[in-house]
Copies of this chain bind each other. A is one copy, B any other.
Amino acid sequence: MSLRYALLAILTAAPLTGYETAKRFEGSVGHVWHAPDSQIYPELRRMETEGLVQGREERWGPNSTKTRYYITAEGESAFRGWMSEPLRYAPWRDVAHMQAAYFEWTDPDSVRMHLQQHAQHYEEQIAQWSSQVQAIESHEHPMIAARLQRYPAEQHARIVAFKSFAYEGLIRLAQAEVDWANSGLALLEELEAQDAEGAG
């Protein structure tokens, strides 16, 4: 169900074709929510039958058309409704931490590899999200630029502030993951030192 609201969210900034939408889900919005095109096209059509968006045919070259989807008043109100409702927190599901709980089942080198990979993965995320924050705050971000054009100037500050805030939260999480992985590497060394002591 959240895919639907993710779609409504980006369509509040600008009307998009299915293809453009899918691209957004690889790039900017894709940092917060991911969906493959095979899920996006049918969902947009379903949303059209429910009146949340309206698709308008556009010429594309001499022999083709493409469909651009516009959010409707009904769609905006559905989005607003979702925004004001409390979230239901889904039960936790975290493979990396589950796996870490059973690290005694693999050798120290493999544990090290896992933890290094974990740190690296989240460092990359931090880099990506940080560059998003920069692009948002400088208004260079294409979706932000499109959005600011659509909404009155007195709202610009909050629009930018909330988007930055969302990404900063993700950065905090990723940093916690990196710190955790590093503390795990330290723990590993400690355990190996103890083993050496016990053996020697």
Contacts and interface: CB of A to CB of B under 8 A. Distances in A.
A92 B166 contact: no
A180 B172 contact: yes
A106 B84 contact: yes
A116 to B, nearest CB: 10
A67 B32 CA distance: 43
Interface residues of A, number: 70
Given A33-B98, A154-B198, A169 B162 contact: no
Given A79-B105, A159-B104, A94 B165 contact: no
By secondary structure, the A interface counts as helix
A183 B82 CA distance: 23
A92 B159 contact: no
Contacts of A33: 92-94, 98
Interface of A: 2, 5-6, 9, 12, 30-34, 79-80, 82-84, 86-87, 89-107, 110, 113-114, 117-118, 121, 125, 154-155, 157-159, 161-163, 165-170, 172-173, 175-177, 179-180, 183-184, 187, 191, 194, 198
9 contacts: A83-B102, A87-B95, A94-B170, A100-B166, A104-B159, A158-B191, A169-B176, A172-B177, A173-B176
